[in-house]
Structure 1
Amino acid sequence: MPLPGGLCAIHQPNVLPRLTTLAKLFAADYWIVLDDVQFARRDYQHRARLASMSQPGRQWLSIPTHLPHGRATLIRDAVLVDPERSRRRVMHMLAQHYSSCSDWPVLRHELDSALVQFRRSNKTADVAEASTRMLLNLVGWKGRILYSSQMSARSDPSQRLADLAAVTGARGYLCGTGGSRYLQVAPFAARGISVVPFRTPTLGIWDGGREVSAVHPLMNYGIRSVAEELRAVASRYHVHD
């Protein structure tokens, strides 16, 4: 378990997240899964964009999801429409795109364990988290996962994130480009937490890193190469450790 005084990332569960998202979680000592906010169909909570290895263009991999309370449904309450069919679709599409890659057997082995979640739970969030955990394991992340739904926090967005980060004893909160548009620094400062803007490179393996699933660079460049890049980026944010 990481010690207090590290870095914290707070992010919604994403299906096979993009490389920039994976990098932020990898750089953090704690990932707080933000599972008790409103589900957003246009986000990445139930879908990922895949890129072909041999042809131009990108394709959405979506997991059909039912919202029991309509638009007000929280992420943790979103339900899989057909878990078994979705499980087969995920495996089929990933194999279709990446089975020719040298590291596919490694990913395929891990997928078998991650996709068991489709049979253990009917919740989209559980499947999304399992897919992210799988990728973090592949690149050697050593952090800890917590859940916002199990923690007490105020309702204002910035105050809420500050309260959640404080539970971990974090010295810094990793803030992505999306959060930087609305985040207020004062609630973090009041708790002695620095807001650390998180940025990644844009060239090489990072090309398309904000758009396509991290599975693509992992298969295209190799798991070891991507893991080295992630460690290099993370090291920039741990200079005071």
Structure 2
Amino acid sequence: MPQTLSCAVHQPNLFPRLSTLGKLFRADVWVVLDDVQFNGRDYQHRARLAAAADPEDQRWLTVPVHRPRGRASRIRELRPADPAAAHRTMSRLIRQYYGRCPHWAETAGIVDEVLAALALHERLAVVAEVSVRAMLDRMGWPGAVVHSSELAAREGRSERLADLTAAVGAGTYLCGPGGARYLSERPFAERGLRVRYPSPPPLTRERGMRTASALWAFAGRGAAGVRDCLVPDRVPAQ
């Protein structure tokens, strides 16, 4: 891969937020961070459904998980605790929230892919990744997906991210607002890599949109509308 590519590194999130989706949409390569410790307070196994009429009215959609090694379990090790129950809840709740929205048919296709993955796969990371890729696919994202568990990298936070960026042949790392709080650019500079900080999509500044799953936007605006709100010009890796 040429070093003109940009790279984003992010955990597989279940029906991700627009800020996460926007960062990945701008990248040429998504490194799925699947070999770090699971964080039960994050979005890997859950998403916030925002009501169609009032996006500030939200509730959690959660897939309860089994952690085979307790708190030390890595993301890729998680298993849905009760896949059949999670399948029923996911299908019912999402249809309840968005079944009457103008772009429900398109959104239902995304949900169906995730439900199929939940029925077929034992690993939650696969299910969450499918939800992200289904959204990106419908927006025409042409990028590649690689898993961090398949790549060699050092243990330090910033060192690890720099190593993963270099491992996929990218020259630019795209850092989101959360990562910017702790990221050190030194390991990137030492490897001749750049760090860019793309702005979150403008829609995320509207009420409720910082925490809500992108399902709300897909159901109300369709994939083309979501693509437009994610700022279609992709970040150049100079």
TM-score class, shorter-chain normalisation, is over 0.9
Equivalent residue of 1:125, what SS? helix
Contact 2:159 2:187 in 1 (8 A): yes
CA offsets 1:55-104 (integer angstroms, 9 cap, x no match) = 56111000011111111111111111011221221111111010111211
1:54 — aligned with what? 53
1:20-59 mapped onto 2 (5 Å cutoff) = 20-54=19-53, 57-59=57-59
| 4+ aligned runs moved over 3 Å, structure 1 | 201-209
Is there any run of 5+ residues in structure 1 with no aligned partner, and where?
none
Taking the aligned partners of 1:97 and 1:227, their CA distance within structure 2 comes to: 21
CA offsets 1:159-211 (integer angstroms, 9 cap, x no match) = 11100000121121000111111111111111111111121244588553321
After superposition, the CA RMSD in angstroms is 1.8
Taking the aligned partners of 2:127 and 2:31, their CA distance within structure 1 comes to: 16
Contact 1:205 1:226 in 2 (8 A): no
In structure 2, the CA distance between the partners of 1:34 and 1:54, relative to structure 1 (3 Å rule), is same
Shift of 1:228: 1.9
2:149 — aligned with what? 149
What is the count of residue pairs matched by the alignment?
237
Between the aligned residues of both structures, percent identity stands at: 42
In structure 2, the CA distance between the partners of 1:133 and 1:183, relative to structure 1 (3 Å rule), is same
Relative to structure 2, which stretch is displaced further, 50-59 or 37-46?
50-59
Is there any run of 5+ residues in structure 2 with no aligned partner, and where?
none
2:78 — aligned with what? 78
* TM-score, normalised with respect to structure 1: 0.92
Shift of 1:215: 0.7
Shift of 1:231: 4.2
The one-letter code matched in structure 2 to 1:145 is V
2:169 — aligned with what? 169
* TM-score, normalised with respect to structure 2: 0.93
1:69 — aligned with what? 69
Q: Does 1:112 align with 2:112?
A: yes
